[in-house]
Structures are given as structure tokens and as C-alpha cells.
Amino acid sequence: MTENRASNEKRGRSFISLCAAAILAYGVAGGFVDGICSAAQAPFSIRGAVGIRDREGKAKQDHSGVVVFLDDLTNPPRHEAPAENAKISQVGKQFVPSVLPIAAGATVDFPNDDMVYHNVFSFSQAKSFDLGIYERGSKRSVTFDQQGLVKVYCNIHPQMVANILVLPNAFFSVTDSKGEFILSGVPRGEATVRTWHARSSEQPEQRIYVKEEGIFATDMRPIGKIEFQITEDRLAVKHKNKWGQDYPAKY
Ligand SMILES: [Cu+2]
């Protein structure tokens, strides 16, 4: 392992020299040099899929909405704040998207893009806030510094629920309808691929080695594509409004 690391570092250094030489030689052709250097650095992409089964154990048609993320990296890169804020809109009396992973320290904008007023609030341990009532075209923002799950509600419409997962880093993805995900720019080293789904208590995970030759399991078996299965076992839980009361029958 140590030997591998040493040779990787050596390769890294000679690669840096190669880039430096290329920049000196072809400094004017910036785009070209960038191309060479980024190709040689080749940030790794982890691909995979999550299959969701319903409560009866039947495979669902739609496998979207599972958050897949990396945790416990042995070689975490320096954390950089995202250039743009993340966003959860209010549209058609829903929060869109209803699942949003972010890295701790990120800010989320909550624009009202709807025809009606909404009141956005959360009493979660990781972040408690109340943005008050605001109209179409307005936007309010919240910064999330503490890791954890933040459940966001509207005080007017009980069906409006969003889950913000505040994670340790920016290596995350949300599955598409086929269940597929991609984690891009992953550094070499060990990491745990974890999962989270709003309607399941199952959170399958896998420890992996990311090496120059590819991804390996802890028994050094090569992994082409990471696959997980999740079975739904949670119904939507009724929640109270911000005053701790049931929502009125009509709203
Ligand atoms: Cu609302």
C-alpha cells in the first residue's frame, strides 16, 4: 500500500512537471494545455444504479430520488464552496426538487415561483428556520453549516415537503428514473458509498478503493458498476404546522 502510494505520488509529481513544461512550451494555447493536464489527471467517475422495490417487494418503474454520496474519504480534497447557490423552488404547491443533497456550508435559495403564497420553515436539529410568508417572485435563502437531514415544510400546504441532506463533501448524486447515478471527480483513496431514500429505512453502503486502475471492493475484487437495492418501508408521515397544530382540513 505504502509502495503504491509512493509510486502514485511520484507519478503525480512527474505529471505536474509535464503540465508545467507543457504550459511553458504552449502557454499561448491555454485551452490545449488544459486539455492535456485534465486528461492526465483524469478525475475518477463512479457509476452505478439503485433499484427500488415497493412495500410488496415488486420492482418499481421509477427509481429516482435516492441520494448516493461518498463518506469517510481517506484522501478528501480541499473543500471549496460551490460557485452558485443550490435551489428549491415552490411550484404548483410543491417543493421542487423535493430531495436536495448539499455539502455543509452551502446556501440554498427558496424562490416562490408559484401563483400563491407559501411559508417555508424547518425545525430539524441540523437547521431550524422560518422564512415567513412571501409572494411570487420573492426569494429567501438559508445557509446550512451542520451535517444532517433537514425536513422543510410549508405552513400553509401540508403536502409540501422537501428533504435537504447536508453532507460532508460535494461527492453526491441523486438517482434518475432508471436508478442511475454518477459521482464525478472522485480522488484516489478509500471511501464509503452511502445511500439515503426518503421512503426507506434501508441505507445500503459499500466501502471501496479508488485506484488508478479502477474501483475495487475491500477484498480487492474489481467493481465495474456499483449496484444497490432498496425496499420502501416508510409511509409519508403526517407532520404538524409550525405552531405544533394539525393543518386545517381546508387550506
Ligand atoms: Cu405552501
CA of 118 relative to ligand 1 center, distance in Å: 4
According to the model, what pLDDT value does residue 249 have? 78
User: Could you write out the three-class secondary structure of the chain?
Assistant: CHHHHHHHHHHHHHHHHHHHHHHHHHCCCHHHHHHHHHHHHCCEEEEEEEEEECCCCCECCCCCCCEEEEECCCCCCCCCCCCCCEECEEECCEEECCEEEEECCEEEEEEECCCCCEEEEEECCCCEEEEEEECCCCEEEEEECCCEEEEEEECCCCCCEEEEEEECCCCEEECCCCCEEEEEEECCEEEEEEEECCCCCCCCCEEEEEECCEEEECCCCEECCEEEEEECCCCCCCCCCCCCCCCCCCC
According to the model, what pLDDT value does residue 10 have? 41
CA of 121 relative to ligand 1 center, distance in Å: 10
CA of 114 relative to ligand 1 center, distance in Å: 9
Residue segments in the chain with a per-residue pLDDT below the cut of 50:
1-41
CA of 88 relative to ligand 1 center, distance in Å: 13
CA of 95 relative to ligand 1 center, distance in Å: 8
According to the model, what pLDDT value does residue 43 have? 65
CA of 150 relative to ligand 1 center, distance in Å: 17
CA of 157 relative to ligand 1 center, distance in Å: 4
CA of 124 relative to ligand 1 center, distance in Å: 18
CA of 93 relative to ligand 1 center, distance in Å: 6
